[in-house]
Amino acid sequence: MVKTQTRTLKTRAKLLESARNIVTSTGYEALRVEHVVQQAGVAKGTFFAHFKDKDALMEALIAPELHHFLDEIEQRPAPKDIESLTAALRPVMQFAVSERYIFDVILRHSGAAAKAEIGPIASVIFRMGEVLANWLAKAPFRKDISPALLADGIGAFLFQALALHFCALNNTQSIEDRMQVYLHAWLLPQV
């Protein structure tokens, strides 16, 4: 019952390769669907037969990067302190901030995104919650709330820090500094 897969897979691969080339040379923001299909040597309609819309392609490009960072985070031992936690999150933050468009896409499609359907980015954000929760269970932080809730909070503060990074009103301190402050207050309250 599985028909005509080779052709389909090849086309999809061509589209993705073309898109990746364009992103590499001109960045995400400047990517045009028309350019992608030209490079891939297919018609425009074909693109939309493979990707629901342009954002779906963006998700297909960005989500794997995030998964890659999570893979690396999973390798690490549980963090001993706030610093090691910040260090672990650094690659994610740097990537998300490296181009404004990237953060926009992540924002649009993360749980922090108004999407009913669960796409690649929502999935990877969800996975981040799990990875962090597992990790936090073994970390020397506050124990009055569940690791899942701790992870949720880290996610919230992560988005806040990233968002403020792009906001002219608030960019006196670096993302990492800001994140450090948030994490201290969240993970190690001194009441």
Q: Whose CA is closest to 151, among 127, 185, 168, 124?
A: 127
DSSP line for 48-78: HHHSSSHHHHHHHHHHHHHHHHHHHHHHSPP
Q: Tell me how far apart the 2 most distant CA atoms of the chain are, in Å.
A: 63
Q: Does 143 bind a second copy (CB under 8 A)?
A: yes
Q: Whose CA is closest to 23, among 60, 69, 72, 70?
A: 60
DSSP alpha helices (H): ranges in the chain?
A: 5-26, 33-40, 44-50, 54-75, 82-98, 100-109, 120-137, 147-166, 175-187
Q: Least separation, in Å, of the C-beta of 49 and DNA?
A: 4
Q: Whose CA is closest to 147, among 83, 78, 96, 91?
A: 78
Residue 148 contact, options a second copy, DNA, none, Cβ 5-8 Å cut-off depending on partner type? none
Beta carbons of 79 and 85 less than 8 angstroms apart: yes
Which residue in 13, 17, 44, 170 binds DNA (CB under 7 A)? 44
Residue 96 main-chain phi, psi, to 5 deg:
-65, -25
Q: Least separation, in Å, of the C-beta of 110 and a second copy?
A: 7
**Residues 157-186, interacting with a second copy (CB under 8 A):** 157, 159-160, 163-164, 166-170, 181-182, 185-186
Q: Does 13 bind DNA (CB under 7 A)?
A: no
- What does the DSSP 8-state code read for residue 30? T
Part in contact with DNA (CB under 7 A); list of ranges 32-40, 78-86, 151-159, 172-180: 32-40
Q: Does 98 bind a second copy (CB under 8 A)?
A: no
Q: Does 26 bind DNA (CB under 7 A)?
A: no
Q: Does 149 bind DNA (CB under 7 A)?
A: no
Part in contact with DNA (CB under 7 A); list of ranges 38-46, 90-98, 101-109, 161-169: 38-46
Q: Does 152 bind a second copy (CB under 8 A)?
A: yes
Part in contact with DNA (CB under 7 A); list of ranges 36-44, 91-99, 163-171, 181-189: 36-44
Give the footprint of a second copy on this chain (CB under 8 A).
Answer: 100, 103-104, 107-108, 110-118, 122, 126, 142-145, 149, 152-153, 155-157, 159-160, 163-164, 166-170, 181-182, 185-186, 189-191
